[in-house]
Structure 1
């Protein structure tokens, strides 16, 4: 399988390093408007540097294009790849508007190519294990969930993150990870209420989601945190709760509502010593879906729904009202 990468910055390097570890995959072309970035990625992968995106699509012989560009460019570059007959692996968020996201999905379907979106949290083993505890009814009826994702402001190195029109801000770029995870794990979202504060290089947002099954999730996202990047989640149900905190050395902990005398109250699942990058797991999965015709763990429609919830959070932030999601789209009430 031959890969071309457009966008040779941080995520372009993550994709490239992952592809180097996947058997049967070769990076054949790279392109970025910053030539130094292209050259560095070419040196890493052995790929050819192309001066234009169109030349790379026409000449590289690639089967798949990894779109690892700033978010506002996702639609245009994904569509051009699809129209050239290339499968698309696009970083999250799928786009910054639902209209753009729908065009991406429709064009890829019309061109009979796959569109995969990198909601990589689904490939983190600790998050996958938390979801499994919900799906196998270990936690019973889900009542309340919490999640947070906090770290330094990426705008200190890449200015485009500061502009909501280019990145979507902390909600669409960062919180969208947990919005997707909660929907994947708990179910469809009925309503959202959001708050956000932006002050200099601090961008903080919180959202309360109410699901169709009446579960509630509270989510925090924070750019500008002075400490190390941290993620955490807790999901509580009628039979117990499951917890994850990346700042602890135990990756996941399940707490039962009743204590088993022999095993004690905790069932711990340690992080695997043979840990493989979730990005590699994700990209390998997408490639396998192309090879085998199998359905992806995260679909383009899932990415669309995550964006829809994120935009509803932003609508709530701007209006101060709860936003209800329905089949016809989000609306205030």
Structure 2
């Protein structure tokens, strides 16, 4: 039986607790929070004990795993506190707001021989896993240009801290980082970044152009304050075909394979229903299996730290109006 202690009873706390509560061989041993009403309701829903003292929760529960699901600005403090108690740690993305903080978190976890897993959940979404498989196989040839898009309502309307870049990192650090991590995983290392970022009222919009060391160019778009439901999309164009996905389309996933001498439409459509697969469940199950079997997780905290470094470079570029070279 794996005992899990949860720090944070907000949105992501609910997401992960709901999955943990139906996971075989797992028990939610306790939850820590600072809002008494939210804490009591959370503990009641998941039939666990509520704590307003983090160390007391760790001591009482003797948890195997601590899930740090607090505000981004608090990740460093609570990951380090859990690691120093000898606990494996699941932490939501981004790992931290600053690269140096991320590296300190990693150092503490390594020095206490505990695993640190960062929740870059796109690596568990089937429509993202599938595109990586096709790229690895060379299905569309050499990729030249990529477009990604991730837009939705501004979370600051529900939780004010998102509107404070010092607490959340803004749309680049909190939202665009999903696609930064995914593209580094699929394409490789980035050599330069140029970005623009506009913040007005309840709008936070960013557009970044990134060049990879292999010559691929990617345009990443992220928007908090989009007047519609949350949507995400990607398009990969290679010299032998194209892969495109838009979550807002009825037929969200399309792959076209062809050469210039083909005149007929060679489209092969593969419909994917994102709701049919819970990637948040899969990422947590994966990490728990790694703890049980002493395996290396799919996502290295060093990779998560590098994604933060890229996001910081994008923010720097947006502030200065100049490209940043890595």
TM-score by length of 1: 0.94
**Cα offset for 1:264?**
5.8
Q: Matches of 1:97 and 1:274 in 2, distance apart?
A: 33
Tell me the equivalent position of 1:295.
296
Tell me the equivalent position of 2:150.
149
Q: Residues 37 and 211 from structure 1, CA distance in 2 versus in 1: closer, same or farther, beyond 3 angstroms? A: same
Match of 1:296, SS state, is coil
Q: Residues 189 and 273 from structure 1, CA distance in 2 versus in 1: closer, same or farther, beyond 3 angstroms? A: closer
Tell me, yes or no, if the aligned pair for 1:285 and 1:296 is still in contact at 8 Å: yes
Match of 1:75, SS state, is helix
Q: Matches of 1:211 and 1:259 in 2, distance apart?
A: 26
**Cα offset for 1:22?**
1.5
1:138-160 per-residue CA deviation (whole Å, 9 max, x = no partner) reads 01111000001000000001010
Q: Matches of 1:281 and 1:260 in 2, distance apart?
A: 42
Tell me the equivalent position of 1:13.
14
Tell me the equivalent position of 1:116.
117
Q: Matches of 1:238 and 1:260 in 2, distance apart?
A: 13
Tell me, yes or no, if the aligned pair for 1:258 and 1:265 is still in contact at 8 Å: no
Q: How many residues align?
A: 324
Tell me the equivalent position of 1:79.
80
Q: Residues 20 and 264 from structure 1, CA distance in 2 versus in 1: closer, same or farther, beyond 3 angstroms? A: farther
1:231-273 per-residue CA deviation (whole Å, 9 max, x = no partner) reads 0000111110101100012232111124999x96122222259
Tell me the equivalent position of 2:135.
134
TM-score by length of 2: 0.96
Q: Residues 269 and 295 from structure 1, CA distance in 2 versus in 1: closer, same or farther, beyond 3 angstroms? A: farther
Q: Matches of 2:118 and 2:38 in 1, distance apart?
A: 23
**Cα offset for 1:164?**
0.6
Q: Matches of 1:222 and 1:258 in 2, distance apart?
A: 35
Tell me the equivalent position of 2:50.
49
Tell me the equivalent position of 1:243.
244
1:113-132 per-residue CA deviation (whole Å, 9 max, x = no partner) reads 00000000111100111111
**Cα offset for 1:10?**
0.3
Q: Matches of 1:21 and 1:272 in 2, distance apart?
A: 22
Q: Matches of 2:138 and 2:127 in 1, distance apart?
A: 17
The runs of 4+ residues in structure 1 deviating greater than 3 Å are 258-261
**Cα offset for 1:311?**
0.4
Tell me the equivalent position of 1:308.
309
CA root-mean-square deviation:
1.6
1:50-93 per-residue CA deviation (whole Å, 9 max, x = no partner) reads 12111101111211011000000000000000000110000000
Match of 1:3, SS state, is strand
Q: Matches of 1:141 and 1:196 in 2, distance apart?
A: 30
Q: Does residue 1:36 correspond to 2:52, yes or no?
A: no
Q: Matches of 1:243 and 1:17 in 2, distance apart?
A: 31
Q: Matches of 1:273 and 1:242 in 2, distance apart?
A: 17
Tell me, yes or no, if the aligned pair for 1:126 and 1:251 is still in contact at 8 Å: no
Q: Does residue 1:322 correspond to 2:323, yes or no?
A: yes
Name the stretch that deviates more: 316-325 or 172-181: 316-325
Q: Matches of 1:267 and 1:288 in 2, distance apart?
A: 36
Q: Matches of 2:260 and 2:190 in 1, distance apart?
A: 33
Where does structure 1 lack aligned partners over 5 or more consecutive residues?
Answer: 326-333
Q: Matches of 1:281 and 1:72 in 2, distance apart?
A: 26
Q: Matches of 1:202 and 1:251 in 2, distance apart?
A: 26
1:165-185 per-residue CA deviation (whole Å, 9 max, x = no partner) reads 100000000000001111111
1:272-311 per-residue CA deviation (whole Å, 9 max, x = no partner) reads 5982311001100111111112221211011011101100
Match of 1:213, SS state, is coil
Q: Residues 145 and 194 from structure 1, CA distance in 2 versus in 1: closer, same or farther, beyond 3 angstroms? A: same
Match of 1:41, SS state, is helix
